[in-house]
């Protein structure tokens, strides 16, 4: 379990851009990817805004146009992120031992769209008219499976579904696979496309979404006193991780070294977080212990920071419990203020951001932070990115069901 693990390739499909450079530039500039929802008629919905992926063309990522019709968007986004990450990593697929390459990609929901479409067909035309592709189009594991099929990767291949912590758990599991020597290279992260009639309706019913429909770019406002809910997002965040020995042998560039993974459960409620932040604090503490770090070693936390009343308060409490006095000194930002909440893909995208923060020594801001909340009283890097040394960064994910995951990366030396 002492094998060192490094990140060598990054891929992103998201509301701020369909590649890493455009997404990273927009994050530094504090731009919002939220706008009016365009994919269906939302006139009867309470929440009418979302952080949609824009201008996505699957053929740009080596996805055949005909095949794309049989692949739901969450699978296409995962394939596109993988295509970018592998290209970025410089892996020579002709030379790599594909028995030593695995895939773990998480998703919270999979495809609601195909269920909605085919249920209507079932009711109107009968069971014989339901597409034979229904099941493979909707099940969550098909993203990881399709990546392996397309590239011929025979190594460990699984899928994680822990709601909004799915992407982070997938990355943590992939980290462990490499640590224990079961693979040399892992393709991992999260993917999601749940901006559908049922997806938006379900979260509206939960009273979880922001209703700031007239000011979409200001709707996601984590830790701000006037926050009123999260904004649905979509996309993927995929990374290539390798054992250090393997990466160095092939002369790979290295973004960051992953050194810690912590996971816990609130054991409290099916949707609400533990008000004391106890479960979240355990994930952070255990991630630091796993990385053999002290709280004061951490410069930056990419927070889960959903912009809901409960989550932001609870995460703040969890950070205080985990870091003690250092909580007042650490820099924290929620990039969901710009990307919206990608649900099962959030952890993947935010891990990419944490790696870039460490590599570039830049901390993206929490935008729309206008009115401080007395219950959220830490440094949330309000509105403007900071250029400063970042040796160690943490990324938090908290999911419905009480699932918590924390990932820790450090500057590679």
For 275-298, the pLDDT digits (tens) are 999 999 999 999 999 999 999 999
Q: Which of 159, 169, 204, 304 is catalytic?
A: 304
Q: Taking the alpha carbons of 362, 368, 371, 373 in that order, is the dihedral positive or negative?
A: negative
Output the six-digit token pair for 61. Answer: 């990522």
304 as an active site residue: the answer is yes
| Alpha-carbon gap, residue 17 to 26, rounded angstroms | 8
Give the pLDDT confidence score for residue 86 in this predicted structure: 98
Residue 143's nearest CA partner among 299, 348, 290 is: 348
Give the model's confidence band at 231: pLDDT under 50 very low, under 70 low, under 90 confident, else very high.
very high
- Residue 172 CA to its chain's centroid (Å): 12
Q: Which of 159, 169, 341, 376 is catalytic?
A: 341
Same fold, 5-249 and 261-408: yes
CA distances (Å), 222 to each of 106, 125, 153, 248, 340, in order?
24, 45, 39, 39, 10
5-249 — its CATH code? 3.40.47.10
Give the model's confidence band at 2: pLDDT under 50 very low, under 70 low, under 90 confident, else very high.
confident
The matching CATH number, chosen from 3.60.15.10, 3.20.10.10, 3.40.47.10, 3.40.1190.20, for 261-408 is 3.40.47.10
Q: Sketch the domain layout of the chain as residue ranges.
A: 5-249, 261-408
What percent of the chain clears pLDDT 70, i.e. is strictly above it? Answer: 100
| Alpha-carbon gap, residue 120 to 287, rounded angstroms | 45
Residue 88's nearest CA partner among 368, 352, 341, 379 is: 352
164 as an active site residue: the answer is yes
171-222 tens-digit pLDDT: 999 999 999 999 999 999 999 999 999 999 999 999 999 999 999 999 999 9
pTM check: above 0.75:
yes
340-368 tens-digit pLDDT: 999 999 999 999 999 999 999 999 999 99
Q: Which residue carries 């499909």 as its tokens?
A: 13
């Amino acid at each position: 379990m002492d094998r060192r693990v490094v990140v060598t390739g990054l891929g992103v499909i998201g509301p701020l851009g369909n590649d890493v450079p455009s997404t990273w530039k927009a994050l530094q500039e504090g731009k919002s990817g939220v706008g009016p929802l365009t994919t269906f008629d939302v006139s009867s919905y309470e929440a009418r805004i979302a952080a949609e992926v824009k201008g996505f063309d699957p053929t740009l990522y080596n996805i055949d146009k005909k095949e794309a019709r049989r692949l739901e968007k969450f699978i296409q986004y995962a394939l596109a992120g993988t295509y970018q990450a592998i290209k970025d990593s410089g892996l020579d697929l002709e030379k790599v031992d594909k028995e030593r390459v695995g895939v773990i990609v998480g998703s919270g929901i999979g495809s609601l769209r195909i269920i909605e479409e085919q249920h209507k067909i079932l009711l109107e035309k009968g069971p014989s008219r339901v597409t034979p592709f229904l099941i493979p189009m909707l099940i969550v594991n098909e993203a990881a499976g399709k990546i392996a099929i397309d590239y011929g990767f025979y190594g460990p291949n699984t899928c994680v579904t822990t709601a909004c912590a799915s992407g982070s758990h997938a990355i943590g599991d992939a980290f462990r696979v490499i640590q224990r020597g079961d693979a040399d290279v892992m393709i991992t992260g999260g993917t999601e496309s749940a901006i559908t009639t049922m997806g938006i309706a379900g979260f509206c019913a939960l009273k979880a979404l922001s209703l700031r429909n007239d000011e979409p770019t200001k709707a996601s406002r984590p830790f701000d006193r006037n926050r009123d809910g999260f904004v649905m997002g979509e996309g993927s965040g995929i990374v290539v991780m390798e054992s250090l020995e393997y990466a160095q042998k092939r002369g790979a560039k290295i973004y960051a070294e992953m050194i810690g993974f912590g996971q816990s459960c609130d054991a409290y409620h099916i949707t609400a977080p533990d008000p004391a932040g106890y479960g979240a604090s355990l994930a952070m503490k255990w991630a630091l212990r796993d990385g053999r770090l002290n709280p004061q070693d951490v410069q930056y936390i990419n927070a889960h920071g959903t912009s809901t009343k409960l989550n932001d308060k609870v995460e703040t409490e969890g950070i205080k419990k985990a870091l003690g006095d250092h909580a007042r000194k650490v820099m924290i930002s929620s990039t969901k203020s710009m990307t919206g909440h990608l649900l099962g893909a959030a952890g993947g995208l935010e891990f990419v951001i944490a790696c870039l923060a460490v590599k570039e020594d830049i901390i993206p801001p929490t935008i729309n932070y206008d009115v401080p909340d007395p219950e959220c009283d830490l440094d949330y890097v309000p509105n403007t990115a900071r250029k400063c040394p970042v040796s160690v960064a943490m990324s938090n994910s908290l999911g419905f069901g009480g699932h918590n995951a924390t990932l820790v990366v450090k500057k590679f030396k």
